[in-house]
Structure 1
Amino acid sequence: MDERRRVLQIVGYSNSGKTTLLTRLIPLLEGTGLRVGVVKHDGGHDFEWDQPGKDTWRYREAGASLVAITSKTKTAMIEQRPLELPVLVQRLTEAGADLVLIEGFKREHFPKLVLLRRPEDEELLQSVSHLVGVVSWSADRKENVPCFHVDDVESIAKFVRERIQKDHPDEYKG
């Protein structure tokens, strides 16, 4: 199977609706039996996932390079270093993701759905690589790739599933 079919970036400018689209898309894809992994790009901020004062935070503050926590229902690991996107995609795939959705990372070279909220956002179509579709807030778009209205999440989910199913139609029946 073409592994790139298992990865899809959702890119757009700030406040274009990327997170909202993903939170609507994920349950539809998971509901068809796909295990979905997600990578979020934190554009220059130093995110804090841990809670100050908690044990895992204290371990990181003490200098641990890697800290993991696990329970009966979930596991999390924090690394004190940045990782390249292909490494994150590989890790999520190795952890069992059938599909990795990526929010952001406009300059990476995975297949992309570009989200256009405003007319001035259209310049993004010229600056990204591997464009496979457009999701827009306007009703009609004429592009050389599939175009979807932002509220037509069912069609977007179908498009994503079909990209995965193209090489192995029996693998995912959703």
Structure 2
Amino acid sequence: MKPPFVLQLVGYSNCGKTTLLTKLIPWFERKGLRVGVVKHDGGHDFEWDQPEKDTWRYREAGASLVAITSRTKTAIVEQRPTRLPELIERLAQAGADLILVEGFKREGYSKLVLLRQPEDQELLHTVSKIQAVIAWEPVKENKWPQFSVHDADAIAEFVEQLLAKQRED
């Protein structure tokens, strides 16, 4: 079994990462791929479960791990940070074919870099393994393939080519 293809979408806040991901996910799921997604909550302390509900109460009581399951889904909340490679391994074990990662700029996986404003282009010089640039306006640097943030189909087709190449290797 081939490991899943991991692709990071990186960019500054409000550049369109989440919006693009919500367009790419159904595109790949329709192609029969199991898509896993990892979101980096840079510096915030997100709330997963709702205050005063049972899982929240268990966590507030000090449980290190809280799980909830139903007929259609399961969630596990851990009271610790988890490194990206471990999250990727867990999604791979769960059967993901493609893992889309929002954020984690400094990690070493293939990346799509999203640029909203011209001054955001400095990001191109600080991240590794850039596969393409996705921008709101054309970018002068042409070292990498470029796509409009509004052309999700072309971006998905490009990612599909990257995935096919990884499967050949």
Change (3 A) 1:132 1:58: same
Shift >6 Å, 4+ stretches: none
User: After the TM superposition, which residues 71-90 of structure 1 pair with which residues of structure 2 at under 5 Å, given as runs?
Assistant: 71-90=70-89
User: After the TM superposition, which residues 116-135 of structure 1 pair with which residues of structure 2 at under 5 Å, given as runs?
Assistant: 116-135=115-134
User: After the TM superposition, which residues 86-125 of structure 1 pair with which residues of structure 2 at under 5 Å, given as runs?
Assistant: 86-125=85-124
> Per the alignment, in what secondary structure is the counterpart of residue 21 of structure 2?
helix
Q: CA deviation at 1:167?
A: 4.3
Change (3 A) 1:116 1:2: farther
Q: CA deviation at 1:165?
A: 1.3
Q: CA deviation at 1:99?
A: 0.6
Per the normalisation by structure 1, the TM-score is 0.91
**Matched-pair contact (CA < 8 Å) for 1:2–1:167:** no
1:58 aligns with 2:75: no
Q: CA deviation at 1:29?
A: 1.1
1:16 aligns with 2:21: no
Unaligned runs of 5+ in 1: 170-174
Structure 1 vs Structure 2 CA RMSD: 1.6
Count of equivalent residues? 168
1:69 aligns with 2:68: yes
Distance in 2, matches of 1:42 and 1:133, equals 23
Per the normalisation by structure 2, the TM-score is 0.94
Distance in 2, matches of 1:139 and 1:82, equals 37
**Matched-pair contact (CA < 8 Å) for 1:116–1:135:** yes
Residue type at the aligned position of 1:11: V
Give me the identity figure in percent. Answer: 64
1:39-66, CA deviations, whole angstroms, 9 ceiling, x for partnerless residues?
1110101001011111111111111111
1:109-150, CA deviations, whole angstroms, 9 ceiling, x for partnerless residues?
111100011100000000001111100111465522211111
**Matched-pair contact (CA < 8 Å) for 1:12–1:104:** yes
**Counterpart in 1 of 2:165?**
166
Distance in 2, matches of 1:90 and 1:10, equals 18
**Counterpart in 2 of 1:46?**
45
> Per the alignment, in what secondary structure is the counterpart of residue 166 of structure 1?
helix
